[in-house]
Amino acid sequence: MGVDMITIRPLSEADVATAAAMEAEHQPAPWPESVFRDELAAPSRVYLAADEGGLVGYAGALIVVDEAHVTNVFVEPGHRRGGLGRRLMVALIEEAVAYGARHLTLEVRTRNEAARALYASLGMVPVGIRPGYYGDDDALIMWAHDIDDPSYLEGLRRES
Protein backbone atom coordinates (compact mmCIF):
# COMPACT_ATOMS: atom_id res chain seq x y z
CA MET A 1 0.00 0.00 0.00
CA GLY A 2 1.26 3.48 -0.82
CA VAL A 3 1.52 6.32 1.64
CA ASP A 4 -1.74 7.76 0.20
CA MET A 5 -3.63 4.67 1.48
CA ILE A 6 -2.62 5.63 4.99
CA THR A 7 -5.02 7.67 7.12
CA ILE A 8 -3.87 10.24 9.64
CA ARG A 9 -6.18 10.29 12.68
CA PRO A 10 -5.91 11.07 16.40
CA LEU A 11 -3.82 8.57 18.39
CA SER A 12 -6.06 6.90 20.96
CA GLU A 13 -5.97 4.70 24.02
CA ALA A 14 -6.62 1.71 21.73
CA ASP A 15 -3.23 2.33 20.02
CA VAL A 16 -1.17 2.39 23.20
CA ALA A 17 -0.20 -1.29 23.38
CA THR A 18 0.87 -1.37 19.71
CA ALA A 19 2.76 1.92 19.96
CA ALA A 20 4.64 0.79 23.09
CA ALA A 21 5.49 -2.55 21.44
CA MET A 22 6.92 -0.69 18.41
CA GLU A 23 8.96 1.51 20.73
CA ALA A 24 10.29 -1.47 22.68
CA GLU A 25 11.40 -3.15 19.46
CA HIS A 26 12.90 -0.19 17.64
CA GLN A 27 13.67 2.77 19.91
CA PRO A 28 16.81 3.30 22.01
CA ALA A 29 14.83 4.84 24.90
CA PRO A 30 11.36 3.32 24.40
CA TRP A 31 8.22 4.91 25.81
CA PRO A 32 6.30 2.36 27.89
CA GLU A 33 2.50 2.15 27.73
CA SER A 34 2.24 4.34 30.85
CA VAL A 35 3.93 7.29 29.12
CA PHE A 36 1.59 7.04 26.12
CA ARG A 37 -1.42 6.80 28.48
CA ASP A 38 -0.27 9.78 30.56
CA GLU A 39 0.39 11.85 27.45
CA LEU A 40 -2.99 11.05 25.90
CA ALA A 41 -4.75 11.95 29.16
CA ALA A 42 -2.82 15.19 29.73
CA PRO A 43 -4.05 18.60 28.57
CA SER A 44 -2.45 20.63 25.78
CA ARG A 45 -1.30 17.63 23.75
CA VAL A 46 -1.75 16.76 20.11
CA TYR A 47 -1.13 13.13 19.15
CA LEU A 48 -1.69 11.71 15.68
CA ALA A 49 -1.61 8.18 14.32
CA ALA A 50 -0.81 6.87 10.84
CA ASP A 51 -3.23 4.04 10.19
CA GLU A 52 -3.08 1.48 7.39
CA GLY A 53 -5.63 -0.88 8.91
CA GLY A 54 -3.18 -1.03 11.81
CA LEU A 55 -0.89 1.50 13.43
CA VAL A 56 2.22 2.26 11.32
CA GLY A 57 3.38 5.52 12.87
CA TYR A 58 2.61 8.35 15.25
CA ALA A 59 3.68 11.84 16.21
CA GLY A 60 2.92 14.07 19.15
CA ALA A 61 3.47 17.50 20.61
CA LEU A 62 2.96 19.40 23.84
CA ILE A 63 1.64 22.93 23.40
CA VAL A 64 3.14 25.45 25.84
CA VAL A 65 1.41 28.80 25.31
CA ASP A 66 2.33 29.47 21.67
CA GLU A 67 5.10 26.87 21.36
CA ALA A 68 4.63 23.31 20.12
CA HIS A 69 7.25 20.97 21.61
CA VAL A 70 7.46 17.76 19.58
CA THR A 71 7.59 14.84 22.02
CA ASN A 72 7.75 11.81 19.73
CA VAL A 73 7.76 10.91 16.03
CA PHE A 74 7.96 7.34 14.82
CA VAL A 75 7.38 5.49 11.56
CA GLU A 76 7.39 1.70 11.51
CA PRO A 77 10.63 0.66 9.73
CA GLY A 78 8.87 -1.04 6.78
CA HIS A 79 7.08 2.25 5.99
CA ARG A 80 10.07 4.62 6.10
CA ARG A 81 11.37 6.75 3.23
CA GLY A 82 7.93 6.97 1.63
CA GLY A 83 7.00 10.42 2.91
CA LEU A 84 4.99 9.24 5.93
CA GLY A 85 7.17 10.89 8.58
CA ARG A 86 6.85 14.20 6.76
CA ARG A 87 3.10 13.74 6.31
CA LEU A 88 2.69 13.05 10.04
CA MET A 89 4.77 16.11 10.90
CA VAL A 90 2.84 18.40 8.54
CA ALA A 91 -0.45 17.16 10.04
CA LEU A 92 0.97 17.64 13.54
CA ILE A 93 2.01 21.20 12.69
CA GLU A 94 -1.48 21.93 11.30
CA GLU A 95 -3.07 20.61 14.49
CA ALA A 96 -0.62 22.54 16.67
CA VAL A 97 -1.36 25.78 14.81
CA ALA A 98 -5.09 25.14 15.20
CA TYR A 99 -4.37 24.77 18.92
CA GLY A 100 -2.67 28.17 19.02
CA ALA A 101 0.99 27.33 18.43
CA ARG A 102 3.12 29.88 16.58
CA HIS A 103 6.52 28.24 17.01
CA LEU A 104 7.80 24.66 16.80
CA THR A 105 10.70 23.11 18.68
CA LEU A 106 12.22 19.75 19.52
CA GLU A 107 15.36 17.96 20.61
CA VAL A 108 16.93 15.34 18.37
CA ARG A 109 19.96 13.10 18.78
CA THR A 110 22.83 14.67 16.88
CA ARG A 111 23.52 11.26 15.27
CA ASN A 112 19.90 10.83 14.08
CA GLU A 113 20.51 11.97 10.52
CA ALA A 114 17.12 10.75 9.22
CA ALA A 115 15.18 12.81 11.76
CA ARG A 116 17.46 15.83 11.38
CA ALA A 117 16.94 15.78 7.61
CA LEU A 118 13.19 15.40 8.06
CA TYR A 119 13.06 18.40 10.41
CA ALA A 120 15.29 20.48 8.15
CA SER A 121 12.86 19.75 5.31
CA LEU A 122 10.18 21.38 7.49
CA GLY A 123 12.24 24.55 7.83
CA MET A 124 13.52 23.74 11.32
CA VAL A 125 16.97 25.09 12.12
CA PRO A 126 19.49 24.02 14.79
CA VAL A 127 19.93 26.64 17.48
CA GLY A 128 21.97 24.84 20.14
CA ILE A 129 23.20 21.66 21.75
CA ARG A 130 22.30 20.06 25.09
CA PRO A 131 25.47 18.08 25.88
CA GLY A 132 24.86 14.52 27.12
CA TYR A 133 21.06 14.96 26.97
CA TYR A 134 20.60 11.35 25.84
CA GLY A 135 23.47 9.92 27.85
CA ASP A 136 25.11 8.36 24.80
CA ASP A 137 24.53 11.37 22.53
CA ASP A 138 24.01 15.13 22.62
CA ALA A 139 20.70 16.75 21.76
CA LEU A 140 20.43 19.23 18.94
CA ILE A 141 17.74 21.83 19.69
CA MET A 142 15.80 22.84 16.59
CA TRP A 143 13.20 25.56 16.05
CA ALA A 144 10.87 26.82 13.37
CA HIS A 145 9.23 30.19 14.02
CA ASP A 146 5.98 31.69 12.72
CA ILE A 147 4.47 28.33 11.78
CA ASP A 148 1.08 30.05 11.92
CA ASP A 149 2.05 32.21 8.95
CA PRO A 150 -0.18 30.85 6.15
CA SER A 151 2.73 30.99 3.70
CA TYR A 152 4.69 28.55 5.89
CA LEU A 153 1.96 25.89 5.82
CA GLU A 154 1.23 26.51 2.15
CA GLY A 155 4.93 25.96 1.42
CA LEU A 156 4.93 22.68 3.35
CA ARG A 157 1.82 21.40 1.58
CA ARG A 158 3.22 22.38 -1.83
CA GLU A 159 6.38 20.35 -1.20
CA SER A 160 4.46 17.30 0.14
Note the residues at the interface with ligand COA (CB under 6 A). 73-75, 80-86, 108, 112-115, 117-118, 121
| Distance (Å, whole) CA 95 – CA 116 | 21
Output 44 or 83, the one with its CB closest to ligand COA.
83
The span from the CA of 136 to the CA of 116, in Å, is 17
Nearest to 108 by CA among 100, 119, 93: 119
The residue among 83 and 145 lying less far from ligand COA, judged by its C-beta, is 83
Closest distance to ligand COA from the beta carbon of 96 (Å): 16
Instruction: Give me the least distance between CB of 27 and ligand COA, in Å please.
Output: 6
Closest CA to 39 of 9, 25, 66, 19: 19
16 or 61, CB closer to ligand COA?
61
- Active site residues per annotation: 107, 119
**Terminal-to-terminal C-alpha distance of the chain:** 18
CB of 139 to ligand COA, least distance (A): 9
